[in-house]
Amino acid sequence: MKQFATITVIGRDKTGVIARVTNFLFEQKANIEALEEQVTRGQFSMTLQASWKTAQFDVPAVENGLAGLAKSLGMEIKLRFTEPDRRQRMAILVTKETHCFEVLMASFRKGALRRAEPSVVVGNRADLEPLARKHKLPFVHVPWNERAEAEAKLIQILDEHRIDFVVLARFMKILSPNVVWRFKNKIINIHPSLLPSFPGAQAYRQAYEHGVKIIGVTAHFVSMHLDEGPIIAQACFRTRPDMSLKEIVAAGQRLEAATLLKAVKLYLAKRLDVYWGTVKQV
């Protein structure tokens, strides 16, 4: 048996960070399964997946060693355990639309998402708080007036609830690299178009005004670039010449909920592998 963990390192860029972290893990008998790093405007971000043979995994030594490294480097280093057989703790981010959230909750009630555990609902508005309480889930309202402050609060909430992955159930705010790098390929979004066409908030209106004959939705992992993350699933429907924008939106929302649910199921089934920015089903 193996023990798995994800380690994130974030801070101002400096030389030797990768070497110091990987050398420490080597000394702790870790096997590095995957590593991805990037520097954006002087900000260093790294996500590393490691595994240990259970008998060789000294948890206090790893935790204390990483804490010492973080202090020495002046960076944030976080360790999250990712036991393969444990139910994945899920955070759901919402704004005011209910259709995606309702479908996820219905699937939980039916036992269709047994590998996940809904743990907290976070909204940049308070509209869905009664609905979250109805499903016996804690709801936290985080106003998005200042993004840096809001994201700091969001990260605190995700840490407190030991969240493994995040679902954006029509969450209408853009997440910065500060959040995305902490949950690399663990934030699932649904977008109301067949990406890469019609990115942004008014996708249905853009499609309607362009007179397209096929309209779709895209579930994707969130990346640092708006609506450009690796695509997990897509679906579409044909439009009629007499369809109004309101009818198109209604049809699209039904498809959004179904496609987001499909993406979450694929993620939980561990059938997704991201390779050079493209999702492969395995």
Taking the CA atoms of residue 179, residue 160, residue 165 and residue 230 in that order, the dihedral angle to the nearest 10 degrees is 0
- C-alpha 268/C-alpha 48 separation (Å) is 20
Contacts of 176 (CB under 8 A, 6+ apart): 147, 148, 151, 224
Instruction: Give the distance, in angstroms, between the CA of residue 10 and the centroid of all CA atoms in the same chain.
Output: 17
State the amino acid at position 190 in one-letter form. I
- C-alpha 224/C-alpha 31 separation (Å) is 28
Q: Which one of the listed residues 13, 58, 227, 242 is annotated catalytic?
A: 227
Could you tell me the strand order of the sheet in which 116-123 lies?
139-141, 116-123, 88-94, 165-168, 187-191, 214-221, 231-238
Q: Which residue has the tokens 């969450």?
A: 171
CA-to-CA dists, residue 270 to 85, 94, 161, 186, angstroms: 11, 24, 22, 12
Exposed (0-12), middle (13-18) or buried (19+): which is 179, by Cβ within 10 Å? buried
Catalytic residue flag (residue 242): no
Catalytic residues, by residue number, are: 227
